Structure 1
Amino acid sequence: MTDAHEEEVLARIAKGLVYTESEAAFQASRRRTDQIFAYNHTPPSEADRRRSLLVEILGSVGERTVLLPPFHAGFGSNVHIGDDFFGNVNLTFVDDVDIRIGDGVMIAPSVTLTTTGHPVHPSRRADFGRFSEPIVIEDKVWIGSNAVVLPGVRIGHGSVVGAGSVVSRDIPPMTVAVGTPCRVLRAITDEDLTTRAQGGTTRMRPTGSA
């Protein structure tokens, strides 16, 4: 494939247009599959080794990051994580394009962040035809167990996504959003400062454990 052809394919990907597996094959060198395998098989006692591998795998990674194995990623190199991140087991990144995660984000078990979908008509899925749009998760977001975040979604600062939700559209900052499809349930307010505290009350349980 010529440089001009590669640039044309990358331009189509950037616009969210359909491209095929063969057309995108030149990006294979950016996959970090061996390093991901090694990370998932590194003993918990080897924290420095895990950190070193994570720096090799991800496009960028902040300080005090916890990512419990196993995790899965198509590339790994298209994932960017900020400071004070906690990702529980079985986190899956379908990162054909960028997934950008801010500071202080918590993600519960078995969450999928997928930047890629496929056309509805089967003839357009030949050669694994697909489209990709980036995902952005802003600072201090909490995503509950088994949630799925779909291509092109932005989740706003401080928001909570309920367990089992399918997030197909943007979530505003400082809101609780739940369901399939995921919809805003309510705003997060100062009243929430007292929930789960001594003498406080619990209004709802929107997510699974982180």
Structure 2
Amino acid sequence: MKTEKEKMIAGEMYNPMDRGLVEDRKQTRLLLKAFNDTAEDQLSERGRIQKTLLPNASKDLYLQPPFYCDYGFNMKVGKRVFFNFNCVVLDVAPVSIGSRTMFGPNVQIYTATHPLDHKERSSGVEYAKSIVIGEDVWIGGSAVICPGVTIGDRSVIGAGSVVTKDIPEDVFAASNPCKVIRVLKEN
């Protein structure tokens, strides 16, 4: 029989009030509080906390506080990734971020979702869908990445966009809902 954590990571319905998951989120919140409270000249302390908070991230990940996530362990982050101020990653399901990807301020990445049926939703169960963001991607400020989305390598997402469907590689996409505006060409 699967644990609630195993069901959560697998994208199955699970109980978020499971004692183990509540404890995991509490520990993450404590690490986030410590990280977000560091001063600009406390880079070694930030690095130490960041390594514990995001064990599957490259050492050269840069998080500009404040930063928020649900668990941290569900994020796989490539080299030289940059998160600007006030980004949120609800990493209930796995989130994979390719190398050299940049996030503007206030970007929101949501794997968590809820049943559409009100009776099922009111029971308290939820589920999540993994998100994959390729390499060399730029996500503009205040964009929202919805559950289950894949964004292809080298694509750019315009500020304020709401990404509800997959975006191919090498495109500029924007709007609500986000759609491809044009193909990007290499110089």
Per the TM superposition, whether the score is higher than 0.5 is yes
- In 1, are the aligned partners of 2:9 and 2:92 still within 8 Å (CA)? no
1:184 aligns with 2:171: no
Q: Which residue of 2 aligns with 1:65?
A: 61
Q: How does 1:55-134 map to 2 (within 5 A)?
A: 55-134=51-130
Aligned residue for 1:60, secondary structure, equals: coil
Q: Work out the number of aligned pairs and report it.
A: 185
Q: Which residue of 1 aligns with 2:3?
A: 6
- In 2, are the aligned partners of 1:63 and 1:82 still within 8 Å (CA)? no
1:26 aligns with 2:23: no
Q: Which residue of 1 aligns with 2:35?
A: 39
- In 1, are the aligned partners of 2:8 and 2:93 still within 8 Å (CA)? no
The alpha-carbon deviation at position 177 of structure 1 amounts to 0.7
The alpha-carbon deviation at position 21 of structure 1 amounts to 2.3
Distance 2:24 2:7 in 1: 17
Residues 106/13 of structure 1: CA separation in 2 closer, same or farther (3 Å cut): closer
Deviations 1:1-41 (A, max 9, x none): xxx2517x734752x3433324x443334331111110000
Q: Which structure 1 residue ranges, 5 or more long, are not aligned?
A: 194-210
Of 133, 143, 147, which aligns to 2:143? 147
Letter in 1 for 2:3: E
Q: Which residue of 2 aligns with 1:199?
A: none
Residues 127/33 of structure 1: CA separation in 2 closer, same or farther (3 Å cut): farther
Distance 2:172 2:77 in 1: 22
Structure possessing the higher radius of gyration over alpha carbons: 1
- In 2, are the aligned partners of 1:110 and 1:147 still within 8 Å (CA)? yes
The alpha-carbon deviation at position 175 of structure 1 amounts to 0.6
- In 2, are the aligned partners of 1:6 and 1:26 still within 8 Å (CA)? no
Identity of aligned residues (%): 33
Residues 71/12 of structure 1: CA separation in 2 closer, same or farther (3 Å cut): closer
Aligned residue for 2:47, secondary structure, equals: helix
- In 2, are the aligned partners of 1:13 and 1:19 still within 8 Å (CA)? no
Distance 2:99 2:37 in 1: 26
The alpha-carbon deviation at position 170 of structure 1 amounts to 0.9
- In 1, are the aligned partners of 2:8 and 2:128 still within 8 Å (CA)? no
Q: Which residue of 2 aligns with 1:171?
A: 167
The alpha-carbon deviation at position 167 of structure 1 amounts to 0.7
- In 2, are the aligned partners of 1:176 and 1:186 still within 8 Å (CA)? yes
Large movers: runs of 4+ above 4 Å: none
Residues 25/181 of structure 1: CA separation in 2 closer, same or farther (3 Å cut): farther
The alpha-carbon deviation at position 121 of structure 1 amounts to 2.2
- In 1, are the aligned partners of 2:71 and 2:92 still within 8 Å (CA)? yes
Aligned residue for 1:61, secondary structure, equals: coil
TM-score, normalisation: structure 2: 0.91
